Chain A
Amino acid sequence: VSSVITWDSSYPGEKAVSFPESAGHSLDPQIGIDGAVAEIEKKIIEAFEVFDHECNKTVDVREIGSIVRSLGCFPTEAELHELLAEVEEEEPTGYINLEKFLPVMTKVLLHRSYQPIPEDVLLHAFEALDENKCGYITKEELVKYLTEEGEPFTQEEMEDMLSTALDPETNTVHYRDYISMLVVDET
């Protein structure tokens, strides 16, 4: 079961691009299609339970992003919103039920939605912000872009990223180094 889905993103002029298969799970040869679904479900339940503090099959709605992302997906905030709309109760309670989450997330994983962003694409993104092509971006510029453009960072997110990315002596971000440092962690 492998299909490629293009999602219409909510930003005009932008199309989501589908990427070749990368990380993600491989089908378990021993157990076939049904088994594969069961295995995916088990994975989802495991990830869900890590955030289910009260052990009552619910998680705080603010944790859904972490759960979805730790299962190997790279959704944008907008895509996450759409997902949430599908799993929320009619009257939003601030909590998401496993019951509703499981089938939706299973579909996401089976269809390999929200594909990972490869290293070189990320590099191009940084280069696009580096007007002078000097290999680094100043703190001010980066902050401006990431807190005003796209799906803006909160101040916290920005500070967090700067704490690892910023070279305090020059107040710049050498993005190549930053990327390679973070990518190692990904394995």
Chain B
Amino acid sequence: MGSGSSVNPTNYKYSLQKSENVQTLPDATHPAFKAAVLIQQWYRRYVARLEMRRRCTWRIFQSIEYACEQDQIKLHNFFSYLMDHFTPSSSKERDFISRMFISGESFKEAELEKYCDYESMEVPDSYTGPRLSFPLLPDHATALLEAFKQKQQLHARYVLNLLHETRKHLKQLPNISHVSTCYSEEVTVCGDLHGQLDDLFFIFYKNGLPSPSKSYVFNGDFVDRGKQSLEILIILFTFLLIYPKEVHLNRGNHEDHMVNLRYGFTKEVMQKYKVHGKKILKMIQNVFCWLPLATLIDQKVLIIHGGISDTTDLDMLHKIQRNKFISVLRGKKRKESNKDVEIQEINGESKVETESSESESDLSLSPQPRPAPSITNRLEFSKWLRQTVQEQIDWCRQLVDSESEPEEPTYSSVVSLTELDTQCWTHQEEWKQILDILWSDPMSQEGCRVNTVRGGGCYFGPDVTNKILEKYNLQFLIRSHECKHEGYEFCHNRKVLTIFSASNYYEIGSNRGAYVKLGPDLVPHFVQYQASKTAHTLTMTQRISRVEESAFRALREKLFAHTSALISAFKAYDKDNTGKISLSSWAMAVESVLHLGLPWRMLRPQLVRSTADGMLEYKSWLDDLAMEQRSQEHIQTSLLEVIYRNRSNLETIFRIIDRDHSGLISFEEFRQTWKLFSTHMNTELTDDGINDLVRSIDFNKDGNIDFNEFLEAFRLVKQSQ
């Protein structure tokens, strides 16, 4: 996987000018000559170092970003697996779990309308924001743009109304939109926006608003990370409805509520719409799944968010029911909880009954676990569970990581539909098609392999690109999904273009955004920008320093999150137990734990402040890291944040451990659970920290936490936000 930057001719590069190129041959004996050489020599070295720092910073951000995505998918696999094999002891529990875990239920049309009803919502006279009426007119769009510039908020009623209408419209669209340059002379394609409204404003300012003579294709990832994802959606949907022939939206991997939970969009909506946020999110879920998957320009240029794979089949993509895939991460379709659910093992062997006995969960897939000890011995049981689950995790991990497996990690069971399935493709095959085009990345080597970094989709080589272009008679692909320093980048011999429209994505000054215009000749013209006033006034040095600081902060957090694993790794290099290791060993140990593929020796000066005689006292280094991360507030809020974000998952785990369903777990069990959980969530907390947390949650101070106390703690946290 490349680092994502290209040799940019507009960057400063020293020139290898031979002396013949200079107009007048300089007099080398002149003192000014020598002085000039020294200054130039010194300066070029300075710039080279800056360039190296910039690239390292880039690498840090990218590896952390992708590692996060991978974490989430791994965690998801883990929970999916647990859920599949946890035998509910009653139908009530089954419902509870399916309701809790399967948060992405597809509502029936009528149910949806009823739940997200907006017509009864009254808009007070005191509301000064834009009022929408349907069908929308260009004036509404301008009003919205103005309102958002003034930082106003659209009333929830209009948001819901807009979402309903958008959904209605999207349903009629095919999976693959078609654009023709003979109608609209020029097509503008924009990449990831990620909630950065300023960038969208800039694009409209520089390029003009969508109109009958100005076509746009927005290639996914409108939301998450930036703070104005909802505003972007509102604007894009508005233009979509006003100019349906000219505005085209593709689904991105972030148009997925499971991803939104983690990357900020869900939080943004809930913060902006405290009363109606849930409804809005529910509607958005059902809008995302109706977004088209791809766009074709003149039958010659294919635009998809992520990429392709060697099995990409446009015919299949044309025909599948795209709305079945509410979340592309899940990979499984769940029926509504009131229908009967039959779960079959993929090898067709045993069936897990929906009514189960009291027996321990039947983990019948390899590896075989030992039989569970008696539940009366809680400590023993916890230990057994931990070991068993750890084995399963490792096994799941292997599925995800194994390169020999050309398919995606196969989930262990497939829900069989009780209704007749008219498609001749399996659900798995259809899911893979969508996963591939939303999550894949190009690579420079030939072939096609599993995208282990993101955890979804694949890496596709130039041969795969050529094959697809030939098969469907295309000229080139346009995709987004990856941040590029210049906002765009070609690869695969200019057959794949990456376009990324969120400038300063990682940090102010980190990268430009860009959009591309295509005329009937299909020759791309680029416009780059960096939508931040401060970015322009900073010097190159300052920009790089700022971004660098940000990157290293994130990296130090990550290191801290792996404290216990790091200690073990360091100890392995410290056989004599001196408490010190060499810097070389440090680099190797850190990579073996974090797996980020970063140039640790280059980064070392920023991470390891002082060493005595080339050796590092690792324990005190880790303590220093912890000190940075630890301010009482910081731990409390971030930890609770993590827990809160994953509360439905945690509840499931708790229930699994609380076998007698007494609703009580001891401090010890809480700690065990937390340790189990933290290996997947990459959060580290010292025992003291856990104790403090536990004690603060145990309101009645009886030495146990019941779920009510636990949930109460979060309600309070939520209220105080």
Q: Are A and B part of the same complex?
A: yes
Q: Which residues of A contact B (CB under 8 A)?
A: 11-14, 26-31, 35, 39, 42-43, 46-47, 49-51, 53-56, 60, 62-63, 65-70, 73-77, 80-81, 84, 116-117, 121-122, 124-126, 128-129, 145-146, 148-154, 156-157, 160-161, 163-164, 182, 185-187
Is there a chain A Cβ closer than 8 Å to B323's Cβ? no
Asked if B42 contacts A46 (CB within 8 A), the reply is no
Question: Shortest 8 CB-CB distances between A and B: which pairs?
Answer: A150-B36, A69-B48, A70-B52, A46-B599, A149-B36, A54-B444, A150-B37, A128-B35
Known: A60-B7, A160-B12, A164-B539. A14 touches B34 (CB 8 A): yes
Q: Is B45 an interface residue (CB 8 A)?
A: yes
Chain A contacts for B5, CB-based, 8 A:
53
* Contact of B26 with A150 in the complex, beta carbons under 8 Å: yes
Query: Which B residues lie within 8 Å of A31 (CB)?
Result: 582, 584
A128 to B13, Cβ gap below 8 A? no
When the two chains form the complex, which single residue of B14, B585, B600, B615 contacts A46, counting CB atoms closer than 8 Å? Answer: B600
Q: Is the CB of A49 within 8 A of B24?
A: no
Q: Are A151 and B40 in contact (CB under 8 A)?
A: yes
- Are the CB atoms of A149 and B55 closer together than 8 Å? no
Report the stretch among B15-23, B306-314, B328-336 that lies at the interface: B15-23
Q: A49-B599, A125-B38, A126-B35 are in contact. Are A148 and B24 (CB under 8 A)?
A: yes
With beta carbons under 8 angstroms apart, the residue of A26, A149, A156, A163 that contacts B614 is A26
Say which residue of B18, B32, B38 sits within 8 Å of A122 (CB atoms): B38
In the complex, B645 has a CB within 8 A of chain A:
no
Known contacts A50-B55, A50-B602; is-contact A146 B40 (Cβ 8 Å): yes
Do the beta carbons of A63 and B41 come within 8 Å of each other?
Answer: no
Contact between chains at B52 and A47 (CB < 8 Å):
yes
Instruction: Classify the interface of chain A: helix, strand, loop or mixed.
Output: helix
How many Å from the CB of A115 to the closest CB on chain B? 11
- Interface pair A157/B43, CB less than 8 Å apart: yes
Q: Are A152 and B584 in contact (CB under 8 A)?
A: no
B592 within 8 A of A: no
Would you give the shortest CB distance from B108 to chain A, in whole angstroms?
A: 49
Q: Is B463 an interface residue (CB 8 A)?
A: no
Contact of A70 among B3, B41, B51, B545 (CB under 8 A): B51
* Chain B window 604-617, contacts with chain A (Cβ cutoff 8 Å), 1 for yes, 0 for no: 01000000011100
Known A53-B3, A62-B7; judge A145-B35 contact (CB<8 A). Answer: yes
Indicate whether B601 reaches chain A with its CB closer than 8 angstroms: yes
Would A69 and B49 be within 8 Å (CB), given that A149-B26, A151-B40, A156-B12 are in contact?
A: yes
Known pairs A28-B614, A70-B52; A50 contacts B16 (CB<8 A): no
Contact indicator B599/A29 (Cβ below 8 Å): no
With known contacts A28-B583, A30-B582, A81-B16, A76–B602 Cβ distance under 8 A: no
Rounded to whole Å, the gap between the CB of B550 and the closest CB of chain A is 17
A122 close to B42 (CB less than 8 A)? yes
Give CA–CA (A149, B32) in the complex, Å: 7
Interface pair A66/B52, CB less than 8 Å apart = yes
Q: Which of A26, A63, A128, A129 has the most CB of B within 10 A?
A: A128
**B240 to chain A: closest CB distance in Å?**
37
A46 to B600, CA, bound (A): 8
A-B contact count (CB 8 A): 204
- Which B residues, 33 to 89, have Cβ-Cβ distances below 8 Å to chain A? 33-49, 51-52, 55-56, 59
Picked from A55, A145, A156, the residue with its CB within 8 Å of the CB of B2 is A55
CA–CA, A162 to B43, complex, Å? 12
Which residues does chain B contribute within 8 Å of A185, judged by CB atoms?
Answer: 46, 541, 545
Contact B582 A128 (CB under 8 A): no
Specify which of A67, A117, A129, A161 is in contact with B41 (CB 8 Å cutoff): A117
CB-CB nearest in chain A for B26: A149
| B interface, size bucket | 35 or more
Measured between C-beta atoms, what is the minimum distance from A68 to chain B in Å?
8
Pair A164/B56 contact, Cβ less than 8 Å: no
Give the residue name and chain of the B residue nearest to A39 (CB). B584
Instruction: Show 6 A/B contacts (Cβ-Cβ < 8 Å), sorted by A.
Output: A50-B602, A117-B45, A129-B35, A129-B36, A152-B26, A160-B540
Closest CB in chain B relative to A155 CB, distance in Å: 10
Q: Are A70 and B614 in contact (CB under 8 A)?
A: no
CB of A13 to closest CB in B, whole Å: 5
Q: Which of A53, A67, A186 is the most central at the interface, judged by chain B CB atoms within 10 Å of its CB?
A: A53
Given A124-B35, A149-B36, A157-B14, 7 extra CB contacts under 8 A? A28-B583, A29-B613, A46-B602, A62-B7, A70-B52, A117-B45, A125-B39
Q: Is the CB of B6 within 8 A of A53?
A: yes
* B523 located at the interface, meaning its Cβ lies under 8 Å from any Cβ of chain A in the complex: no
**How distant is A126 from chain B, measured CB to nearest CB, in Å?**
7
Residue of chain B at shortest CB distance from A66: B48
Verify if B1 is at the interface (C-beta below 8 Å from A).
Answer: yes
Asked if A62 and B45 sit within 8 Å, CB to CB, the answer is no
Report if B31 contacts A (CB, 8 A).
yes
Q: How distant is the Cα of A87 from the Cα of B254 in the complex, in angstroms?
A: 45
A42 to B613, CA, bound (A): 20
- Please tell me which one of the listed residues A74, A149, A157, A164 contacts residue B12 in the complex, with CB atoms under 8 A apart: A157
Indicate whether B423 reaches chain A with its CB closer than 8 angstroms: no
Which residues of B sit under 8 angstroms from A56, Cβ to Cβ?
444-445
Nearest opposing residue in chain B for A13, CB measure: B29
Q: Given B15, B32, B45, B56, which contacts A154 in the complex, CB threshold below 8 Å?
A: B15
| Distance, CA A160 to CA B613, complexed state (A) | 38
- Chain B residues whose CB sits within 8 angstroms of the CB of A14 once the complex forms: 28, 34, 37
Kindly provide the distance from the CB of B15 to the nearest chain A CB, expressed in whole angstroms.
Answer: 5
Which residues does chain B contribute within 8 Å of A126, judged by CB atoms? 35, 39
Nearest CB to that of A47 among chain B residues?
A: B602
Measured CA separation A4–B44 after assembly (Å): 23
Segment 570-598 of B: residues with Cβ below 8 Å from A: 582-585, 587
Query: Is the Cβ of B41 less than 8 Å from the Cβ of A164?
Result: no
- Nearest-neighbor residue (CB-CB) of A46 within chain B: B599
Closest Cβ of chain B to A175, distance in Å, is 9
Is B540 a contact of A163 with CB atoms below 8 Å?
Answer: yes
Are the CB atoms of A182 and B37 closer together than 8 Å? no
For residue B30, CB closer than 8 A to chain A, the reply is yes
A54-B2 in contact (CB<8A): yes
Which A residues are CB-close (under 8 A) to B46?
Answer: 182, 185-186
CB nearest neighbor in A for B51: A66
Q: Are A28 and B22 in contact (CB under 8 A)?
A: no
Most chain-B CB neighbours within 10 Å: which of A14, A30, A187?
Answer: A30
State A55–B2 Cα separation when bound (angstroms).
6
| Residues on A with beta carbons closer than 8 Å to the beta carbon of B587 | 42
List chain B residues, Cβ under 8 A from A65. Answer: 13-14, 16, 44, 48
Chain B, Cβ-Cβ closest to A154: B15
Distance in angstroms between the alpha carbons of A39 and B17 in the assembled complex:
33
Residues of A within 8 A of B31 (CB): 128
Q: Tell me the nearest residue of chain A to B59, going by C-beta.
A: A50
Q: Which residue of A lies closest to B544 (CB)?
A: A185
Residues of chain B within 8 A of A186, CB atoms compared: 46, 49
Asked if A80 contacts B35 (CB within 8 A), the reply is: no
- Tell me the smallest distance from the CB of B400 to a CB of chain A, in Å: 21
State whether A161 and B584 are in contact (beta carbons under 8 Å apart), knowing that A26-B614, A126-B35 are contacts in the complex: no
Of B5, B37, B41, B615, most A-chain CB atoms within 10 Å: B41
Please state if A11 and B28 are interface contacts (CB–CB under 8 Å): yes
Q: How far is the CA of A185 from the CA of B602 in the complex (A)?
A: 15
List of B residues within 8 angstroms of A51 by Cβ:
55
How far does the Cβ of B505 sit from chain A's closest Cβ, in whole Å?
A: 19
Give CA–CA (A29, B24) in the complex, Å.
51
Q: Which residues of B contact A75 (CB under 8 A)?
A: 41
